[in-house]
């Protein structure tokens, strides 16, 4: 590993394969399609692995990511209300050659996308985004979901494909997950009943997220789920109780660059590497898990420095020593790297491009 400069992000190939297989097996057992969110890895290479592992399409957040992933799959979901002219026109263009669906929560977005698709001569699939408890995006009731579905079904160059939700709130309450998911189930059922009575149908009901993925059979309406983080996992998914340390495939390799201050070492993995994202279940628990020094706390980050606290008298790593870190939240860390390092169990290692890094629009 000494060939790598630090900080670098190294991915364990076997753990990735195991994580992909676990999700594929779950999907097969419960007849739920897996449409992974590629925001976690942002790489065509890993997108292809997902498709090879039985995923029938991919999810993206931005149109720039959709363009990148259109090289990997021709069945894409843009899980974002792409209602500004730049995104809407790019989405409509892409829909000329790919199956592209967009999740929207407003008639405004549907109209903009309809106009763009008309101009491009394409058809965009539409999923109605229903808020099931996170209160971030999504129409606020089954009745409003019905009204939006009706509006979409009347707009040219749009195809009403179904329902969309993101039960992200289960992050905060892992113990109440089953209960939360049953509420999601009830809301979706109520919405679909309204649609049916109105003569509207939902070919797709898309939900999920990594924490709820392996219980998503509790939401009987789901036809597909969109887990992202599961491919690598991170300290959030470990501390949330959704996986183990051994399931974390991606680690930051960092170097000790200062030991001048007592009971502290400084690593070269600051917020420009680990991000300032806090640990969701324990916001004040530090900025990642140092595998070789599990009791050390990454207490403070500046852009290029991680200040790691050691209890008095405990063994500190030495100057120049390398350590490996499981970050709080892996997805934005990947976005800070131009390439990941893919390591096979035989020790061989090679760079993987982060093709969709920095795609903001």
- For residue 117 the two structure tokens come to 């698709």
Q: Does 101 bind its own copies (CB under 8 A)?
A: no
> Which residues on neighbouring strands pair with residue 75, listed in sequence order?
99
Size of residue set near its own copies by CB under 8 A? 63
> Distance between CA atoms of 136 and 169, rounded to whole angstroms?
10
| Binding segment (CB under 8 A) for its own copies, from list 11-19, 113-121, 193-201, 258-266 | 258-266
Three-class secondary structure of residue 6 per DSSP: coil
| Binding segment (CB under 8 A) for its own copies, from list 179-187, 208-216, 237-245, 256-264 | 256-264
Please identify which residue in 56, 201, 244, 276 interacts with its own copies, judged by CB under 8 A: 276
Three-class secondary structure of residue 89 per DSSP: helix
Please identify which residue in 275, 286, 317, 325 interacts with its own copies, judged by CB under 8 A: 275
Q: Does 271 bind its own copies (CB under 8 A)?
A: yes
* Cβ 101 vs Cβ 124: under 8 Å: yes
State the Cα angle at 35 between 190 and 129, rounded to 5°: 35
Decide the pairing of beta strands 75-78 and 99-104: parallel
Q: Does 8 bind its own copies (CB under 8 A)?
A: yes
Q: Does 143 bind its own copies (CB under 8 A)?
A: no
Please identify which residue in 125, 138, 227, 317 interacts with its own copies, judged by CB under 8 A: 138
Q: Map residues 26-65 to x or -, x wherever contact with its own copies holds by CB under 8 A.
A: -------------x---------------------xx---
Q: Does 80 bind its own copies (CB under 8 A)?
A: yes
| Binding segment (CB under 8 A) for its own copies, from list 82-90, 117-125, 152-160, 186-194 | 82-90
Q: How many CA atoms lie within 13 A of 218 on its CB side?
A: 18
Q: Does 335 bind its own copies (CB under 8 A)?
A: yes
Q: Does 68 bind its own copies (CB under 8 A)?
A: no
> Distance between CA atoms of 6 and 114, rounded to whole angstroms?
47
> Distance between CA atoms of 214 and 225, rounded to whole angstroms?
10
- If you search the block for the tokens 């969309």, which residue do you land on? 164
Q: Does 67 bind its own copies (CB under 8 A)?
A: no
Q: How many residues does the chain have?
A: 361
- Residue with Cβ nearer its own copies (158 or 333): 333
Q: Does 319 bind its own copies (CB under 8 A)?
A: yes
- For residue 8 the two structure tokens come to 């670098």
Q: How far is the CB of 276 from its own copies (least distance, A)?
A: 4
All residues at 6 or more sequence positions from 35 whose CB lies less than 8 Å from its CB, including other chains: 55, 56, 57, 58, 59, 75, 77, 206, 224, 225, 226
Three-class secondary structure of residue 127 per DSSP: strand
* Cβ 255 vs Cβ 6: under 8 Å: yes
Q: Does 131 bind its own copies (CB under 8 A)?
A: yes
Please identify which residue in 67, 268, 290, 298 interacts with its own copies, judged by CB under 8 A: 268
Q: How far is the CB of 302 from its own copies (least distance, A)?
A: 7
| Binding segment (CB under 8 A) for its own copies, from list 4-12, 19-27, 45-53, 237-245 | 4-12
* Cβ 237 vs Cβ 46: under 8 Å: no
* Residue ranges that bind its own copies, judged by CB under 8 A: 2, 5-8, 39, 61-62, 80-81, 83-87, 105-106, 108-109, 112, 129, 131, 135-140, 168, 255, 257-262, 264, 266, 268, 271-273, 275-278, 300, 302-305, 307, 319-320, 331-332, 335-338, 358, 360-361
């Amino acid at each position: 590993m000494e060939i790598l400069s630090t900080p670098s992000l190294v991915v364990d190939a076997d753990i990735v394969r195991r994580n992909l297989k676990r999700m594929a097996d779950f999907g097969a057992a419960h007849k739920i399609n897996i449409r992974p969110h590629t925001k976690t890895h942002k790489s065509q290479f890993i997108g292809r692995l997902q498709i090879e592992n039985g995923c029938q399409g991919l999810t993206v957040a931005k149109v720039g990511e959709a363009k990148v992933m259109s090289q990997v799959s021709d069945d894409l979901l843009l899980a974002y209300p792409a209602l500004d002219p730049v995104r809407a026109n790019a989405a409509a263009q892409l829909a000329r050659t790919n199956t592209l669906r967009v999740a929207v929560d407003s008639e405004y977005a549907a109209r903009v996308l309809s106009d763009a698709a008309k101009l491009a001569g394409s058809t965009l699939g539409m999923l109605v985004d229903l808020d099931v408890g996170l209160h971030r995006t999504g129409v606020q009731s089954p009745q409003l979901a019905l009204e939006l579905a009706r509006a979409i079904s009347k707009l040219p160059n749009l195809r009403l494909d179904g329902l969309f939700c993101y039960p992200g709130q289960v992050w905060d309450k892992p113990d109440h997950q089953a209960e939360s998911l049953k509420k999601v189930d009830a809301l979706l059922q109520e919405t679909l009943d309204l649609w049916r009575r109105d003569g509207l149908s939902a070919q797709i009901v898309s939900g999920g997220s990594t924490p709820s993925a392996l219980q998503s059979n509790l939401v009987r309406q789901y036809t597909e789920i969109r887990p992202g983080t599961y491919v690598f996992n991170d300290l959030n998914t470990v501390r949330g109780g959704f996986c183990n340390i051994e399931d974390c495939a991606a680690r930051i390799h960092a170097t000790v660059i200062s030991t001048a201050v007592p009971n502290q070492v400084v690593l070269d993995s600051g917020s420009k590497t680990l991000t300032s994202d806090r640990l969701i279940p324990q916001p004040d628990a530090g900025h990642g898990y140092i595998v070789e020094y599990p009791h050390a706390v990454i207490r403070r980050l500046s852009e290029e420095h991680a200040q790691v606290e050691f209890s008095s008298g405990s063994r500190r790593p030495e100057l120049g020593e390398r350590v490996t870190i499981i970050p709080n939240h892996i997805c934005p860390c990947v976005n800070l790297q131009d390439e990941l390092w893919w390591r096979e169990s035989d020790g061989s290692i090679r760079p993987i491009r982060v093709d969709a890094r920095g795609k903001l629009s």
